[in-house]
A and B are shown apart, each in its own frame.
Chain A
Amino acid sequence: GAVVSQHPSWVICKSGTSVKIECRSLDFQATTMFWYRQFPKQSLMLMATSNEGSKATYEQGVEKDKFLINHASLTLSTLTVTSAHPEDSSFYICSAEKRGNSPLHFGNGTRLTVT
């Protein structure tokens, strides 16, 4: 159990366009979802924490108007990279947490390439 599905697994887009990434918890209700980005040979950097039905909490230095997060239901959160630029090219990973003290479960990531 505790499967997190992320879609798409990879995407290529042109500079200036927007890209939406979906994160779904398939077999549990996720009270909290987290979004990370990871550059090559680096660790995961937390971008924002998303609670169902409320606004996301962004980490310092992460532009909330550029990285729009919507957590509309207990099984779905979306990250939209708006007006993407080549420097936004990265590996984006989501994770979801069940209610109660349990470990986070991670999606398999989305490789975004902005040309």
Chain B
Amino acid sequence: KQEVTQIPAALSVPEGENLVLNCSFTDSAIYNLQWFRQDPGKGLTSLLLIQSSQREQTSGRLNASLDKSSGRSTLYIAASQPGDSATYLCASARSNDYKLSFGAGTTVTVRA
């Protein structure tokens, strides 16, 4: 059974600081890994999808890396803004059945 862990559970930074969010998973046989953003009371918005054959994906200020051998993914958010305040969840899809397993998320607060 895939276990996905996100540390820390919460993070508070001043505006302009770079954010580093960590995700670890126990089963390295993954099909892909996806990072989502969730605003309070809202659904999930997909940020980045990394296929198992890829090492990283970038979109604007966001960069996500994937290291299957160590069971880790990291989401970097450059030059954080108050609008980046949200909960960020990572989820891995297993190779055998593509089921998504989610971490509990990291809640980010960017202080103006």
Whether both chains belong to one complex is answered with no
- Give the interface of A toward B (CB within 8 A): none
